[in-house]
Amino acid sequence: MAIDPKTKTVAQTLGVVMTMGALAWASVPFYDWFCRVTGFGGVTGVAEASSGDILDQTIKVAFDANTERGMAWEFKPMQLEMELRIGEEGLAFYEAYNPTDRPIAGQASYNVVPYEAGGFFDKIECFCFTEQVLMPGERVEMPVAFFVDPEIVNDRDAKYTKKITLSYTFYEIDLPDDQQAGLATETDAQASVN
């Protein structure tokens, strides 16, 4: 049985479209994985605990905070900079405040500059690992525990780094289902009282 050339062309075109769609779908998680493994693009590492190996050499870490346009929170670092020995665990705090009359959920994205230092900046604990929900008028202090991996001194490019800037940007996300349900119940209760 011979295949019609038009049918063959349509099948090939659909195959190309489906392959390109699959590659586009897979590119985001693959790129995220690649950045986390290599530190490319300033993505940091995650560690269970500090390295235990602390060098005499010090490095400065600066802290930056931003909010996405339209995000109502006020967000800032509680310290602008600290100096610590390479390998030593640092603890920094950021402050977030919700000045509105409604609960707002947020998620923080982050990066490190210079980019070549990203693979050597390891977070042990961070508010960016989970979504944050602030109630109306709520102000919170959020910690980030980190260290700079001593292997940074052996890296061809990163060994010249004297200062690392850790930057966060908070953006608004949908409230978690349990809190949306609680708000709906509260609104219904208020409506029945009125």
Do 47 and 64 belong to one domain? yes
What is the spatial distance between Cα 79 and Cα 81, in angstroms, rounded to a whole number?
6
In a domain, 193, yes or no: no
Do 47 and 29 belong to one domain? no
* Total number of domains constituting the chain: 2
In a domain, 4, yes or no: yes
In a domain, 8, yes or no: yes
| pLDDT tens-digit map of 18-66 | 777 666 655 444 444 444 444 444 455 665 656 678 999 999 999 999 9
Q: Which of 10-24, 56-70, 180-194 has the highest mean pLDDT?
A: 56-70
Instruction: Beginning with the edge strand found earlier in the chain, give each strand of the sheet holding 132-134 in spatial order.
Output: 81-85, 58-67, 163-173, 104-113, 132-134
Do 121 and 169 belong to one domain? yes
Residue 63 CB coordination number (10 Å): 19
What is the spatial distance between Cα 42 and Cα 48, in angstroms, rounded to a whole number?
20
Can you give the CATH number for the domain in which 139 is found? Answer: 2.60.370.10
Q: Which domain holds residue 17?
A: 1-38
SS3 127: helix
- The pLDDT of residue 176: 85
In a domain, 51, yes or no: yes
The DSSP bridge partners found for residue 140 are 96
